Structure 1
Amino acid sequence: MDPRTLQIIREITPAVAEHGETITKVFYDRMFAANPEVRRFFNAAHQHSGGQQRALASAIYAYFQNIDNPAVLGPAVELIVHKHASLGVKPEHYPIVGKHLLDAIAEVMGDAATDEVLAAVGEAYAFLADLMIAEEQKLYAQQAAAPGGWAGKRTFAVDRVVEESDVVCSFYLKPADGGATPEFLPGQYLTLHLDHPTTPTSPRNYSLSDRPGQDHLRISVKREPNLSPEAPAGLISNQLHDGVRAGDTLEIGPPCGTFTLDPATRDSATGDERPVVLLAGGIGVTPLLSMAKAWVARGVKAPLYLLQADRNARTRAFADEIAALAEGNDHITTRVRYSEPIDGDLDEPGADAGFVDRDLLSEWAPCDEADFYLCGPAAFMRSVAGELAALGVPAERVHYEFFGPKAEIAPATAGCPFAA
C-alpha cells in the first residue's frame, strides 16, 4: 500500500475504534437495504443480538491497528477464509461490502471522512479483499480436488437420526450419489443449506461430531428454545429436530474450519507427547468428541483429558461414547461436571457438581504443559479462558471455537462481515 495510505489509517484508527459499532450497524443497514440478495449470508439472530456488528468492528480495528504488519492477523484471516468458503462467498460480493463500508464511514465520521481518508480506507480494503479472494479460491480448489470432496453444495441422505439427550439429536449423513465420504480434520464443521418454510434463513454451520474415516458424516444439533420473530435463534435446529427423518436429503457444504486437532501430528512418530485437555460446555462437546475419537482411533499414546460440563444427565449427550474412550486406554481421562445435577447424576464415575473453575482445573488438568481446546457457550468460554489465564497457561496453548461471532471472546483477533 502507498505510504500515505498507511499513515492515514494509523491516524484514523482511534476514531474508528471509538465509533466502530456505530459504523458497522450503519453498514449492515445500508447494505441490506440496497443489496438484499446478500442477506442470505447472515444469521438474523446474530444481527439482532449485535454480536455480528461487534465482530466486524473488532475485525476492522484489528486490521487498522496492524496495518503496517497485517501478517500478524494470519490466523484470523484463515478463520474468516474458511467461514466465507462455508457460506459460498464469491469475489463479486466484495465490492458490495466495500461500497457500503465506505458509505457507512462517511455517514458516521462526517467531515472527518475526507476524500483522502475515504480513498485510503478504500485502498486498505481492496488490499485485504484481494488477499481474501485469493485464499478463498485456493480453498475452493482444494475442497473440490480432495478425495470425496466437492465445492459448493452436495446432496446427502439422512441415514438415521439418533436422540442423544432430551435436547440433542445426531444426524448420520451419507452421499446421496453413492460416492466417497470426504475426509476432514477433527474439529471441522459442515454447512447446512436448509430453507425454513416461513422465514428466510442463512446457512448454518454444525460441527462434525464423529471421527473421520467412516462411511458417514455426523452432525449433532441442540434444539434451541428461542423462536421469537425478533431474534430467531433455533429456527433451523427445531426444523431439524421436528421435520428431518431418515431418508430425507440435505444440501451440505464441504468440511471447513481451523479449530482442529490432527492426531497425526501427535502420535509416536512425531515424538510430541504433550498432553491435551479438551474442555466442553454443553453442545460444545461436538468438535471435541471428534478430536477425542480420532485420537483413540489413531492410537496416540500422549495423555488426553476430556471434561464435559452440562446441566444434568437429561441434557448431556454422548455419555456412553465418552465413557468408552477411556476403556482400555490408561492415558485417557474423562470427567463430567453438572451445574444442576438430578437424582443419580453424582453416582456416575467421574461426576461431580459445580462449574469449571480454577480449583478444578489446577487439581485435574496438567496446566503447566498441556494444550487446551475449549468449546461451549459464551459465558463458559469467557470463564474458562479467564481461569486458565489466571493459572498461568499461556495464550498460545489455548485454542477455542465459539458457536457464533468469535469477537465475543477475542475482540482483537476475529470477526468477519459474512458470518453464519
Structure 2
Amino acid sequence: MLSQETMDIIKSTAPVLEIHGKDITTVFYKRLFESHPELLNIFNQTNQRKGRQQLALANTVYAAAVHIEKLSEIMPVVKQVAEKHRSLGIKPEHYPIVGENLLKAIKEVLGDAATPEIMNAWTEAYGVLADAFISTEETLYKESENKQGGWRFFKDFKLVDKVTENKLVTSFYFKPADGAPLPDYKPGQYITVHVTIPGEKYTHNRQYSLSKAFDGENYRISVKREVVNEPVGIVSNYLHDHLNIGDILPISAPAGVFFYQSKPDTPVTFLAGGIGITPLMSMLQIAVKENNAPINFVQSANTTDLVVFSKPLHDIAQQYSNLNYFELITETSGYISKEFLEQYVDSSSDVYLCGSVPFMLAMIKHLLVIGVSKNRIYYEFFGPSMALDIET
C-alpha cells in the first residue's frame, strides 16, 4: 500500500507526465537497450522506430499517475498489457531493469523538477505497479500451462500447410512439433511467433491473430506481406518467402483480451478493414453457431483482389440465414459511411472492429453518432495499445 503522501506526490506529477511522457519513454528505451541489448530479442523494433511503444508506455505511466489512489481503474489496461507481456515471455527479473532505467529517464528529462521527494514517490509507486504486472502475468502463465497441451514461454511448432489467400496474404497452419494436444483459445486472440532471420543480429517477435476458430487440429495465422522498409516488413516477407512446410517456429500460447463475448440473442456487427479481418474471421465462425440474432459482417478492402476469405465468407452466409455479408471495395464504392452503418447496424448491436488506426477512428465515430453505446464497441490495435482521440 502507498501512503497518502506518496499518492499525492504521484498525482501532482500527472500534468508534467502528460506533456513530457513520450520524451521520458523515448529516453527510457534508449537507456534500456544500451544497457541491456539482449532485450532487443524481445521488443518489436518496428514499434520502437515508429514511436508506438514509447507512446503506449507514456499513456500507461500517465494513467497510473492519474489513478494512483484507485489502481483498479487501470486494471483493464494492466490486463491487456500483461497478456502481451505473457505472449512475449516477459519475466519477473525484467522489472527491476525496467524500473531502474525508467526512473533514470524521468530524472534526465525533468531535471531539477524531479526532486528527491518525487523520485522517492515514483520508486515506491513503480514497485507497486511492477508487482501488479508480475502477479497478473504469473496468473496468465499458469493458466496457459495448466491447459491440456499447454506451455509457458515459447514452444516449437511445425508448419503443416501454407495457403495463398490473395496477392498479399498467405495463411500458415501450425501443429505442435512434439505431437501434443493443441490448447484451445478464444476467437479473436493472437499468438506470438519467434523468428530467427539469417543475417539479423537479434531475433524478432511478431504477434498475429489466429484467423480461424479453434478446431483442435492446428493454429492458423494469415499474414499480409508488407513492402520491405527496414525493419518494417522484414518478418512478414521472411514468412512468405522462406518459411516452408515442415519448418519449425517457436510460438507462444494464445493470448489477448479482444475476443468474441456476445450473448446469443444480441445482434452483432463485424467491421473489418483490410488484414484486420483475421481476428474477426475467427469470431464469426463462433458467432454463427451460437447466435440467433442478426449478424452483419462487413469487409472493406482497397481493391477487389485484396479481399480476404471471400469464398469462405460467402459460403458461411449461404449456410446461416441470419448472416449478412458485405464486401465494400474502396476504389468503386468508397469507404464504409455513416449512412451505411445507420442502415444496417442496429444501435443495440455489439460491434467488433479491427483494422488500421484511421479505419477504427472513423468507424467508432460513426457508430457513436448513430447511437451505438461505447461499451458495446470492441476493438484492438495492431501493435502497442494507444489511446484513441475520439470526437463525435
TM-score interval for Structure 1 and Structure 2 normalised by the shorter chain: over 0.9
Aligned to 1:359: 339
Residue identity opposite 1:253 in structure 2: S
Q: 1:374 to 1:130 in 2, by over 3 A?
A: same
How do residues 124-163 of structure 1 correspond to structure 2 at under 5 angstroms?
124-163=125-164
Aligned to 1:381: 360
Q: 1:15 to 1:245 in 2, by over 3 A?
A: same
Q: Is the contact between residue 48 and residue 54 of structure 2 (CA under 8 Å) also seen in structure 1?
A: yes
Q: Secondary structure at the residue paired with 1:393?
A: coil
Cα deviation for residue 357 of structure 1 reads: 1.7
Aligned to 2:99: 98
Residue identity opposite 2:280 in structure 1: L
Aligned to 1:35: 36
Cα deviation for residue 406 of structure 1 reads: 2.1
Q: Secondary structure at the residue paired with 1:255?
A: coil
Cα deviation for residue 294 of structure 1 reads: 1.8
Aligned to 1:274: 266
Q: Secondary structure at the residue paired with 2:204?
A: coil
Aligned to 2:171: 170
Q: CA RMSD in A?
A: 1.4
For residues 85 and 222 of structure 2, what CA distance do their matches in structure 1 show?
22
Cα deviation for residue 245 of structure 1 reads: 1.5
Q: Residue by residue, what CA displacement relative to the aligned partner does 1:170-229 show, whole Å, maximum 9, x if unpaired?
A: 01111111111110000000110111212224311110001112311111000011x233
Aligned to 2:306: 315
For residues 63 and 148 of structure 2, what CA distance do their matches in structure 1 show?
36
How do residues 270-309 of structure 1 correspond to structure 2 at under 5 angstroms?
273-296=265-288, 298-309=289-300
Q: Which runs of 5+ in 1 are unaligned?
A: 268-272, 342-352, 412-420
Q: Which runs of 5+ in 2 are unaligned?
A: none
Cα deviation for residue 339 of structure 1 reads: 0.8
Q: Secondary structure at the residue paired with 1:309?
A: strand
Aligned to 1:237: 236
Q: Is the contact between residue 266 and residue 291 of structure 2 (CA under 8 Å) also seen in structure 1?
A: no
Cα deviation for residue 383 of structure 1 reads: 1.2
Aligned to 1:270: none
Q: Residue by residue, what CA displacement relative to the aligned partner does 1:47-90 show, whole Å, maximum 9, x if unpaired?
A: 11111111111111111111111111121111011000000000
Residue identity opposite 1:149 in structure 2: G
Residue identity opposite 1:193 in structure 2: H
Q: Residue by residue, what CA displacement relative to the aligned partner does 1:141-183 show, whole Å, maximum 9, x if unpaired?
A: 1101112221111111111100001000001111111111110
Residue identity opposite 1:316 in structure 2: V
Q: Is the contact between residue 159 and residue 172 of structure 2 (CA under 8 Å) also seen in structure 1?
A: yes
For residues 206 and 144 of structure 2, what CA distance do their matches in structure 1 show?
18
Cα deviation for residue 300 of structure 1 reads: 2.7
Moved over 4 A (4+): none
Residue identity opposite 2:276 in structure 1: G
Q: How many residues align?
A: 388
How do residues 44-83 of structure 1 correspond to structure 2 at under 5 angstroms?
44-83=45-84
Residue identity opposite 2:208 in structure 1: Y
For residues 11 and 155 of structure 1, what CA distance do their matches in structure 2 show?
48
For residues 123 and 296 of structure 2, what CA distance do their matches in structure 1 show?
47
For residues 148 and 336 of structure 1, what CA distance do their matches in structure 2 show?
38
